[in-house]
Amino acid sequence: MKNLYTNILTRSFFNENYIKNQKSLTQISNIVSADWATVKRYALSNKIKLRTLKEQAAISSLGGKWKHDNLLTKKFFNENYISLKKSIKELSLETGVERSVIRRYMIKLEIPRRTCHEQMHISHPPKEFKLTSKCMAFFDGLLLGDGSIPLRKGGKPRYYAQSCKYVEYLNYITSRAKKYDITFSPVLTRWRTDKRCRDKGFFESFLQSHSFETFEKIRERWYDSNGIKHIPKDLIFNKDSLLQLYLGDGNFYREIRLCTDGFLLEDVILIQSLLKKTLNIDSRLVKSENGYEIAIKKSDTKKFLDYIGKCPVECYKYKWHDNESKEKKLENNRRAREVYHLKRNNYGGFSNAS
């Protein structure tokens, strides 16, 4: 593809058509069925001196006359540009008239031109996907964790984005989303500095979907007008949403913790109540540096893990068992026994220990 026109757009070809016959770049692009920018690039690579717009206009419109009055009429533009919404580029290809000439006729006939953004929206309309209950549960779980639907300056929230140090997990999200006809750009990886890490940083991978208008609806449900993420009042937990929450923001060290400290307290309480309603699981709120986390009772750990099922990725399998080391457990048990015997020896029991 790189050298597709090498044998066509040669120096002798440009000398014959561009220099001798004085054809414009647009006319040449129509002859060889190549993009205008491609023709220009080959002309420059063959060291052809290009004419200015003024010089080309003097050739294309001799004496400054309007040569296409019978073709480029107001009726023509109303039918093709306004009604059929064809672009100026498409009109140029169909008529063989340069785009700059078509623009001049539009100004002359007072035809309002679309902006590049408006034309792009017409030529490449935003894609959508079907927001089924299963699809919604999947993204609910992701957004409970580290997932986001960002609103970029001057744009619309039509992308799902997430970062993680495990490429395998991001590839898992991509493969799951494909079932709902959602496609993603390739995963990008970069080094991120973090003094808390042993190596003073880590490799972070970043995932972003292609543009889908449906993500606007999801963002409306999850974000307020200030761009702050909140738990939707109609949120319902199921196996998949809880699985995605635990994969993204859960850990297991003596007890299961859900790192919900990125949400407001009222949202964390709502999550806690949904856990109770869905699984009849008792939990408590634990104050962290940034907010509140949810700690699930150790006696309910098995119930929680049995409900969400097996871990779908190798990189997070460690979350499915207690990560407290055997040495640490033995040390904690030893200290607990020492405290027990100390109290027993000092007070002879615990009823009047206070």
pLDDT exceeds cutoff 50 at 352: no
| Segments forming the whole domain that contains residue 307 | 230-323
- Residues 101 and 160 reside in one and the same domain: no
The DSSP line for 122-139 is HHSPPB-----HHHHHHH
Of 243, 228, 227, give the one whose Cα is nearest residue 139: 243
Do 275 and 237 meet the contact criterion of CB atoms below 8 Å apart?
yes
In a domain, 3, yes or no: no
- Sign for the CA dihedral angle at 144, 259, 147, 243 comes to negative
Domain end (from 53, 88, 123): 123
**Size (the chain), residues:** 354
Domain end (from 123, 156, 175): 123
∠ CA(262), CA(266), CA(269), 5° rounding? 90
- The predicted pLDDT at position 325 comes to 55
In a domain, 134, yes or no: yes
Rounded Cα distance, 204 and 214, in Å: 27
Residues 266-315: tens digit of each pLDDT? 999 999 999 999 999 989 999 998 899 999 988 899 999 999 999 999 99
The DSSP element (H or E) to which 255 belongs, if any, is: strand 255-258
Residue linked to tokens 């019978």: 70
- Residues 350 and 319 reside in one and the same domain: no
What does the pLDDT average to over 51-69? 75
- The predicted pLDDT at position 35 comes to 87
- Residues 207 and 264 reside in one and the same domain: no
Residue 113 CB partners (closer than 8 Å, separation 6+)? 88, 103, 106
Of 114, 65, 64, 63, give the one whose Cα is nearest residue 91: 114
Domain end (from 102, 123, 144): 123
Residues 143-198: tens digit of each pLDDT? 999 999 999 877 789 999 999 989 999 999 999 999 999 999 999 988 878 777 77
Give the range with max mean pLDDT: 97-101, 307-311, 336-340.
307-311
- The predicted pLDDT at position 47 comes to 92
What does the pLDDT average to over 2-16? 87
Residue linked to tokens 């054809």: 23
- Residues 331 and 311 reside in one and the same domain: no
Task: Tally the domains of the chain.
Answer: 4
- Residues 296 and 208 reside in one and the same domain: no
The DSSP line for 186-246 is PPEEEEEE-TTSTTSEEEEEEEEBPPBTHHHHHHHHHB-TTS-B---TT----HHHHHHHH
- The predicted pLDDT at position 353 comes to 44
Residues 277-290: tens digit of each pLDDT? 999 998 999 999 88
The pLDDT confidence band at residue 121, using thresholds 50, 70 and 90, is confident
In a domain, 6, yes or no: no
- Residues 264 and 188 reside in one and the same domain: no
- Residues 353 and 279 reside in one and the same domain: no
Strand ranges across the sheet with 255-258: 250-253, 255-258, 292-296, 283-287
In a domain, 2, yes or no: no
Q: What is the domain-level CATH number for residue 206? A: 3.10.28.10
Rounded Cα distance, 259 and 286, in Å: 10
- Residues 205 and 247 reside in one and the same domain: no
Could you give the 3-state DSSP secondary structure of residue 110? coil
Do 205 and 188 meet the contact criterion of CB atoms below 8 Å apart?
yes
What does the pLDDT average to over 200-213? 89
Query: Residue 252's beta-bridge partner residues?
Result: 256
Backbone phi, psi, residue 287, to 5°: -70, 130
Alpha helices in 46-115 (DSSP H): 53-60, 74-77, 88-95, 99-108
